[in-house]
């Protein structure tokens, strides 16, 4: 649980993470493939603050669905959690626009940035 004050503070930090660590600019697109976690809301507000287009996806998306969304949107960043990362990684070689991959949770993976560590 976060208070509105905490969400405000954390969303400013998350907007900086998206802009600086992920290299995103106003108008860039972020695909979020996340279950129902508080970080979904944090990233949503952070994207609004930074002028980044937030494109939510559910945890029920298949690898084919994820691949289509990445290509059609020309997303430059994808956000997911530890359990969904393998499905996301299976389609990453075909995504030419993707610049950064952000992981929500405690785990770590090669080539992924961890949101909690960056906050």
**Cα end-to-end span (Å), the chain:** 17
What pLDDT is stored for residue 92 in this prediction? 87
* Residue 21 predicted with pLDDT over 90: yes
Backbone angles phi, psi at 79, to 5 degrees: -125, 130
- Residue 105: pLDDT band with limits 50, 70, 90: confident
| CA dist., res. 8 & res. 69, Å (int) | 29
pLDDT band at 44 (very low <50, low <70, confident <90, very high): very high
What residues have CB less than 8 Å from 64, skipping those under 6 apart?
91
Q: pTM of the full predicted structure?
A: 0.90
Would the pLDDT of 108 be above 90?
no
Q: What mean pLDDT is reported for the chain?
A: 93
Q: Give the architecture-level CATH label for domain 4-117.
A: 3-Layer(aba) Sandwich (3.40)
Distances 91 to 17, 42, 60, 94, 110 between C-alpha atoms, Å? 24, 25, 15, 6, 16
């Amino acid at each position: 649980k976060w208070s509105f004050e905490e969400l405000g503070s954390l969303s400013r930090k998350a907007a900086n993470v998206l802009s600086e660590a992920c290299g995103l600019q106003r108008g860039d697109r972020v695909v979020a493939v996340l279950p129902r976690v508080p970080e979904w809301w944090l990233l949503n507000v952070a994207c609004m603050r930074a002028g980044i287009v937030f494109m939510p996806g559910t945890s029920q998306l298949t690898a084919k669905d994820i691949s289509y969304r990445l290509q059609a949107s020309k997303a430059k960043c994808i956000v997911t959690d530890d359990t969904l990362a393998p499905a996301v990684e299976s389609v990453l070689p075909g995504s030419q626009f993707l610049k950064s991959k952000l992981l929500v949770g405690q785990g770590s993976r090669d080539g992924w940035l961890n949101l909690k560590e960056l906050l």
